[in-house]
Homo-oligomer: A and B are copies of this chain.
Amino acid sequence: MRHLAPLVLLALLVQPGLPSARAEEPAALPGWPSERVAGQRALEKALNALPSAERLRRWHDLFCAEPHPAGTAGDARLIAAMAEAFRGMGLETDVHEFFAYMPTFEKAELSVAVGQVLVHLPLREDALPGDPSIAREIPPAFNAYAASGVAAGSVVYANYGTKEDFERLDALKVSCKDKIVIARYGRNYRGFKAKFAEARGAAGLLLYTDPADSGYVRGVPYPEGGFANAASIQRGSIKTLPYPGDPLTPFVEATKDAKRLDPATLALPKIPVQPIGWTAAREILARMRGREVPKGWQGGLPLRYRLDCGEAPVHVRLKVVQPRSIQKTANVIGVVRGATHPDEMVVVGCHLDAWTFGAGDPHAGSIVLYEMARSFAALAKQGKRPARTIMFANWGAEEFGIIGSTEWCEANAQALLGHAVAYVNLDMAAMGPDFRSAAAPALKRVIEGATRDVPQARAPETTVHAAWSKRGEGTVPFGNLGGGSDHVGFYCHLGVPSCSLGGGGSRGVSYHTAYDTLAWYRQVVGEDYEPALMLARVGNVLVSRLANAPLVPYTIQRPFADARVHLEAMFGKAADKEPAAELRTRLDVVRQKAARVEAALDRAVAEGRCAGARLDDVNRQLLSLERAWLHRDGLPGRPWYRSLYAASDPHSGYAAWMLPLLRGAVESKDRARIAAAVGVYMAALDKMEAHLDALDRLSQEE
C-alpha cells in the first residue's frame, strides 16, 4: 500500500463497506489491560473483514425457501439445513430436540350473512405475480392456540382490544356475550385481546389489520410499496400463560419423557380466534348499523365504525380446526469453545421458525447470526479462539410462545445462572439502516462502545453510534427489554444481562403475513444487505468484547442509575412522602458506591493490578451482582418471572414493566403490598451491596 497518492488513500478511507473506514480515533476500551487493546482491535478488524453482502443474501435464500412454522416439514428441513451450515463452518453443532404442546393448522372458515346474502371471506393472502414465493405457495392464516370449534353470532367492534378498550365497552354497556368480537391489531399483544374477549363471554374473536395502523394510511401497500395491503393477514400466537415455553412443562425442559401438566388444567384459549385482512374485515364492519364508535376508535376503512349491530344483526360464522398435540422440533446450536474460560458463555440467538417465509421475521436476524458465526468460526480455525465460549443458537418454535429458547434455558439453568455472561438476541434484526437496541443496563456501555467502531449502513463516513445518537438528539436511545422474544428465558427467568440488536427505518410492514418474502425484503429493506452487514459488524465487535474482555465488560453503576429513573417514572418527582422514598435514597447510596467500584476496577485491570485468579474472582462477583436482581419467589401470579428488574407488562404483553414487583404493587394501590415490595428491593440491594463491597476489596488488593 506504499506509494499510493493521498487522494487514493482518502478514497479508501471512505470506501463503503470497509468496517475500519473512519477518520476518527478508535474509541477507548475501558477496563482492558493496556497491552491487550491492540490485539483486541486487530482481532475485531479481522472478524469484520469477513461478513459479506453476497453471503448474507445466500443465507437468506437458504432460510426463506418455503413456509416453516414450528412442527411442519418445512421446519424440519430448515433445522437440518441450519445444522449442516454450522457443521460446514467447523462449529460444534447440537440439534437440541424438544417436545412441546403445539397446534397443527388444519382448517378455518369464515362467512358473514345479512338477510339472504352469504359471503365467504378469505383466510389467506392473494398470489402476487411479482413475488415468486407467493406465486408458488400461500400458507393459510391462523392464531396459534385458538380453540377449535364453531362460533356464530352478531358482531361487536372492540377497537384494539386493550384492557382500556374492553373497559370502555363495559362502561358503554356494549355486551360481548355470545358475540363475535372483531378487534384490530396493535397496541397490545394479541393474546390479551383474546383473553379479554373470552372473559366477557364472547363466542369468538376476529383479529384484523386496519389500514390506519399498517396499511395505506401509513404508506403505499405491497407490492407497489411495502405496507400491508387489503389481503395481508397478521398471524400470531394468542397464548397468555404466566410463563413462556412449552405449556405443559413450565420450569423444566420439555424432553420426550418429561413430567407434563394436564392440558385440560391450563388457561389456553377456549374460543375460536382467527386473524383476517381488511378485505374480510370490511365485509363485516361495513354491514354494522349500530352505535357509533367513541373518539379514537375510527379506523382507516372507508366507512363509519360502529360498536355493535343495533337492530340489524350481522351474522358471522367462524370455524377453526386447530388440534393441539405434543410435537417435536428443535433448537440448532453452533459452539465456538472458549480457549481460556470455556465454561463462561456468551449466547447469541435468533429463532428459526417463521409464520410464513420469514424473510423479515426472523431471518433478517438469522442471516446476521450466520455471518457472525462464520466470522468467529473462521478465526477459530486460524487458532484465534475467544477466551470464553460463544454459542450461536437458532431457536425453535418461538412464534408459538418463545418455546425453544425457554426449554433450552430450563435445560441449562444451572450452567447459565453460574456462567452466562450475556445473551444477545437478533430476532428480525436487519430490517433497516437505523440501529436500535433494547438492553439490560449492565450491557449498555459495551453496546455503545461497539457501535462507535462500526460504520453506519449506507453512510460509511459516519459511525453507527453517531447516526444513532443523532436520531436520539444527543443521547443514544436504548429501549427497555420486556417480553416478546427469546431473551425472556435468559433475562427474566435467569437474570443473564441481555440485549436485542436491530435496525429500522424501512418503509413497510410484512410482519407475520404471507408477504414476508425475499421479494418484499429486497424491495423494502433493500438489495444491498447493508443493514445486515452493519449489524453483523456491531455484533462481532460486541460479542468479541464480551467473550474476550479480561474484566467482564459490564457497567456496574448503570443498573442503579436506570432503576432510579424507573422509580421516578412510577412515582413522579414528588417529595419524600411517597412510599418509595426509602428505596430512592438507598438506590442513590448504592449507585454512588457502584460508580466508585466501577472506576477502581477499570483502573486496577487496565494497570495490570488485577489479573489471573483474582480477576476470575472479580468476574464471578460481577455475574453474582447481576443475578442478585433475581427473586426466588418470582412475581405474584407468575413465579417463572424472577427478575426484579424487568418483566413483560401483564396487561399488554409486549411492553416492558420495569421494577415489576413494585410496579404491580403500585398498580394494586395496596399500601401493605407496596411496603412489602419495597422490602424485597431493599433486601436485594443489601445483597448487591455485599457484592460491591467484595468487588471493592478485590480492586484494592495489591
How far apart are the CA atoms of A292 and B508 in the complex, in Å? 13
Is A216 a contact partner of B303 (Cβ separation < 8 A)? yes
- Produce 1/0 per residue, A289-325, CB < 8 A to B: 1001000001011111000000000000000000000
In the complex the two chains form, what is the Cα distance from A103 to B292 in whole Å? 41
- A539 within 8 Å of B (CB atoms): no
Q: Is the Cβ of B220 less than 8 Å from the Cβ of A298?
A: no
Q: Give the docked Cα–Cα distance between A224 and B303 (Å).
A: 12
Which one of A221, A224, A292 has the highest number of Cβ atoms from chain B below 10 Å of its Cβ?
Answer: A292
Give chain A's interface secondary structure class. loop
Docked complex: A215-230 residues within 8 A CB-CB of B: 216-217, 219-221, 224-225, 227
Q: What is the CA–CA distance of A304 and B228 in the complex, to the nearest angstrom?
A: 11
How far, in angstroms, from A302 to B281 measured CA to CA in the complex?
Answer: 14
**CB of A211 within 8 A of chain B?**
yes
- Bound-state CA distance A436–B220 (Å) is 42
**Listed residue (A298, A300, A302) with the most chain B CB atoms within 10 angstroms of its CB:** A302
Pick the contact of A216: B217, B224, B225, B304 (CB < 8 A): B304
Q: Are A298 and B217 in contact (CB under 8 A)?
A: yes
| Across-interface contacts of A216 in B (CB, < 8 A) | 302-304
* A220 and B300 form a contact (CB under 8 A): no
Q: With A and B bound together, what is the CA distance between A301 and B224 in angstroms?
A: 18
Is B224 a contact partner of A289 (Cβ separation < 8 A)? Answer: yes
Residues of B within 8 A of A301 (CB): 302
Give the complex CA separation of A219 and B220 in angstroms.
26
Please measure, in the bound complex, the distance between the C-alpha atom of A216 and the C-alpha atom of B301, giving whole angstroms: 9
Q: Is A221 in contact with B304, judged by CB distance below 8 angstroms?
A: yes
Residues of B within 8 A of A221 (CB): 304
Q: Which residues of B contact A298 (CB under 8 A)?
A: 217
A302→B220 CA distance, assembly (Å): 11
Specify how many copies of this chain sit in the oligomer.
Answer: 2
CB distance from A230 to the nearest CB of B (A): 9
Which one of A227, A289, A304 has the highest number of Cβ atoms from chain B below 10 Å of its Cβ? Answer: A304
Contacts of A220 in B (CB 8 A): 292, 304
Name the residue of chain B whose CB is nearest to the CB of A224: B289
Look across to chain B and name the residue whose beta carbon is closest to the beta carbon of A216. B304
CB distance from A420 to the nearest CB of B (A): 44
Question: Within the assembled complex, what's the spacing in Å between the Cα atoms of A94 and B96?
Answer: 98
Which residue of B has the minimal Cβ distance to A221?
B304
Cβ B304 vs Cβ A302 within 8 A: no
- B-contact bits for A199-233, CB 8 A (1 contact / 0 none): 00000000000010000110111001101000000
B contact residues around A289 at 8 Å (CB):
224
Contacting pair A225 B302 (CB below 8 A): no
A292 contacts B211, CB within 8 Å? no
Q: Which of B211, B219, B300, B304 contacts A219 (CB 8 A)?
A: B304
State A292–B300 Cα separation when bound (angstroms): 17
Q: Which residues does chain B contribute within 8 Å of A211, judged by CB atoms?
A: 302
Give chain B nearest CB distance to A583 CB in angstroms.
39
List A residues 549-591 near B (Cβ within 8 Å): none
Of residues 444 through 489 on chain A, the ones whose CB sits less than 8 Å from some CB of chain B are none
* Interchain nearest-CB distance for A621 vs B (Å): 50
Which residues 626-663 of A sit at the B interface, judged by CB distance below 8 A? none
Q: Name the distance in Å between A182's Cβ and chain B's nearest Cβ.
A: 17
When distances are taken between beta carbons in the complex, the residues of chain B under 8 Å from A219 are 292, 304
Chain B neighbourhood of A217, CB < 8 A = 298, 304
Question: Closest Cβ of chain B: how far from A74's Cβ, in Å?
Answer: 33
**Across the two chains, which residue of chain B brings its CB closest to A282?**
B302
Kindly list chain B residues whose C-beta atoms are within 8 Å of the C-beta of A225: 292, 304
Identify the closest chain B residue to A289 (Cβ): B224
Nearest residue (CB) in B for A298 is B217
Cα–Cα, bound, A78→B587 (Å): 81
CB-nearest residue of chain B to A299: B217
Q: How far is the CB of A478 from chain B (nearest CB, A)?
A: 26
Q: How far, in Å, is A231 (CB) from chain B's closest CB?
A: 14
Query: How near does chain B come to A172, taking the closest CB pair, in angstroms?
Result: 17
| Chain B residue at minimal CB-CB distance from A306 | B220
Give bound CA distance, A220 to B292, whole Å.
8
Q: Which residue of B lies closest to A227 (CB)?
A: B304
Q: Which chain B residue shows the least CB distance to A302?
A: B302
User: In the assembly, what is the distance between CA of A424 and CA of B425, in Å?
Assistant: 70
| Proximity bits, A270-302, B CB within 8 Å = 1, else 0 | 000000000000000000010010000010111
In the bound complex, what is the Cα–Cα distance between A292 and B303 (angstroms)? Answer: 23
For residue A305, give the distance in angstroms from its CB to the closest CB of chain B. Answer: 8
Q: Closest approach, in angstroms, between the C-beta of A642 and any C-beta of chain B?
A: 43
How far apart sit A211 and B300, CA to CA, in the bound complex (Å)?
A: 11
CB distance from A523 to the nearest CB of B (A): 15
Cβ of A209 to closest chain B Cβ, rounded Å:
13
Determine the distance from Cα of A227 to Cα of B303 in the docked complex, in whole angstroms: 12
Contacts of A302 in B (CB 8 A): 211, 216, 300-302
Please measure, in the bound complex, the distance between the C-alpha atom of A74 and the C-alpha atom of B167, giving whole angstroms: 54
CA distance A304 to B217 in the complex (A): 6
Residues in B neighbouring A303, C-beta threshold 8 A: 216
Residues in B with CB closer than 8 Å to A304 are: 216-217, 219-221, 225, 227
Contact sample, A vs B, 19 pairs, CB 8 Å cutoff: A211-B302, A216-B302, A216-B303, A216-B304, A217-B298, A217-B304, A219-B292, A219-B304, A220-B292, A220-B304, A221-B304, A224-B289, A225-B292, A225-B304, A227-B304, A300-B300, A300-B302, A301-B302, A302-B302
Given contacts A219-B304, A225-B292, A225-B304, 12 further A-B contacts (CB under 8 A): A216-B304, A217-B298, A217-B304, A219-B292, A220-B292, A220-B304, A221-B304, A224-B289, A227-B304, A300-B300, A300-B302, A302-B302
Closest A-B pairs by Cβ, 3 of them: A216-B304, A302-B302, A220-B304
